[in-house]
């Protein structure tokens, strides 16, 4: 019949009980509003290049089966201080630990113990068609511009778990909170209130398929084996005496970077990078004002690490 509508899509995600074992999904697992979803299967085809009396190719064979599922969600809290936001399960599968202080805050910070990073079963439901992955871990990026809500962009890599005809889920428990624009952000770098119009970061997670010939897909799950968190912002250029961008860059000097999306209790998001290090400076112009394109590394702040970033919902 061919009448699948691209505007009728939901994504459901749930933490797996056993790594790589698909878990049943329901409407309550589709509690994130999504934008720009994309499903990208990765199934290499083995080409059989035999020689005989014909130039016609032999039939190819489908080999291992993986897939990527990416989408964007708004940066917003649950609306109740101390209650985890719907996107919390997504952050955890991207290598973040979750710390909840009842009635006060929910904070996410990177972790390195793989056993503590859960895998997800995810599926995209597109107007009667279901495309699923399992054993998935992911990477997350953040971006925000002045006057606009922040966005988290997630990309999950997992084992391809089939495409089937399934009725689209009816989401339940979707957060009613409205995201807060990047205004009154109290942006600060090394105690200097720079004038910026946008900021981004990418956790830079390395996602490695975990091979297993006992599985029909050839894989059991995806491992998060490394991260290289970096970001950028675009401050107005300054005198050296005000803030020595180039001097700090060349000296490898770090400083605390912080900004927030202000709002009411349960919907305030504060980002903190304790050891922000400049990695590159590029010159630019913003409506006749000299600016810099400052790339930065989120370096570990202590010997033990796992402290390069915190995302606090209060």
pLDDT digits (tens, 9 = 90+) for 34-70: 999 999 999 999 999 999 999 999 999 999 999 999 9
User: Is the CB of residue 51 less than 8 Å from the CB of residue 58?
Assistant: no
- Per-residue pLDDT tens over the stretch 142-177: 999 999 999 999 999 999 999 999 999 999 999 999
Neighbouring CB atoms inside 10 A of 48's CB total 9
Write out the E strands in 52-128.
61-62, 66-74, 96-101, 105-110, 120-126
3-state SS assignment for residue 42? strand
Residues in the chain: 314
Give residue 213's pLDDT band: very low, low, confident or very high (50, 70, 90).
Answer: very high
Distance CA 47, CA 225 (A): 31
3-state SS assignment for residue 143? strand
- Per-residue pLDDT tens over the stretch 219-237: 999 999 999 999 999 999 9
Asked if pLDDT for residue 2 goes beyond 80, the answer is: no
- Is the dihedral angle over the CA atoms 157, 163, 164, 165 positive or is it negative? positive
What Cα–Cα distance (Å) separates residue 199 from each residue in 1, 109, 130, 162, 177?
Answer: 45, 19, 35, 37, 23
Determine, yes or no, domain membership for 53: no
Beta-ladder partners of 226: 206
Determine, yes or no, domain membership for 59: no
Mean pLDDT of 73-89: 97
Q: Can you give the residue range of the structural domain that contains 86?
A: 9-43+64-313
User: Is the CB of residue 140 less than 8 Å from the CB of residue 152?
Assistant: yes
Determine, yes or no, domain membership for 54: no
The domain tally of the chain equals 1
Mean pLDDT of 91-115: 98
Give residue 3's pLDDT band: very low, low, confident or very high (50, 70, 90).
Answer: confident
Determine, yes or no, domain membership for 2: no
- Say if pTM beats, i.e. exceeds, 0.85: yes
């Amino acid at each position: 019949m061919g009448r699948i509508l691209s505007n009728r899509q939901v994504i459901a995600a749930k933490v797996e009980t056993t790594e790589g074992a698909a878990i049943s999904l329901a409407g309550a697992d589709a509690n994130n509003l999504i934008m720009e979803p994309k499903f990208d299967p990765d199934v290499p085809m083995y080409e059989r290049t035999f020689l005989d009396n014909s130039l016609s190719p032999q039939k190819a064979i489908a080999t291992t089966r993986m897939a990527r599922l990416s989408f964007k969600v708004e940066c917003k809290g649950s609306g109740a201080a101390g209650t985890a936001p719907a996107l919390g399960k997504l952050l955890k599968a991207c290598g973040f630990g979750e710390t909840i202080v009842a009635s006060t805050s929910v904070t996410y910070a990177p972790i390195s113990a793989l056993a503590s990073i859960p895998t997800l079963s995810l599926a995209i439901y597109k107007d009667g068609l279901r495309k699923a992955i399992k054993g998935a871990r992911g990477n997350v990026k953040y971006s925000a511009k002045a006057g606009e809500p922040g966005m988290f962009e997630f990309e999950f890599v997992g084992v391809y778990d089939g495409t089937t005809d399934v009725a689209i889920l009816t989401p339940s428990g979707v957060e009613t909170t409205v995201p807060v624009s990047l205004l009154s952000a109290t942006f600060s770098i090394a105690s200097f209130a720079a004038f910026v119009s946008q900021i981004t970061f990418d956790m830079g997670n390395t996602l490695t398929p975990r091979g297993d010939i006992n599985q029909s897909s050839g894989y059991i799950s995806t491992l998060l084996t490394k991260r290289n968190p970096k970001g950028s912002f675009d401050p107005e250029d300054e005198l050296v005496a005000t803030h020595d961008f180039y001097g700090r860059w060349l000296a490898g000097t770090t400083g605390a970077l912080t900004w927030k999306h202000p709002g009411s209790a349960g919907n305030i998001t504060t980002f903190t990078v304790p050891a922000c290090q400049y990695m590159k400076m590029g010159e630019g112009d913003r409506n006749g004002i000299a600016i810099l394109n400052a790339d930065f590394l989120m370096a570990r702040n202590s010997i033990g690490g796992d402290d390069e970033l915190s995302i606090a919902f209060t």
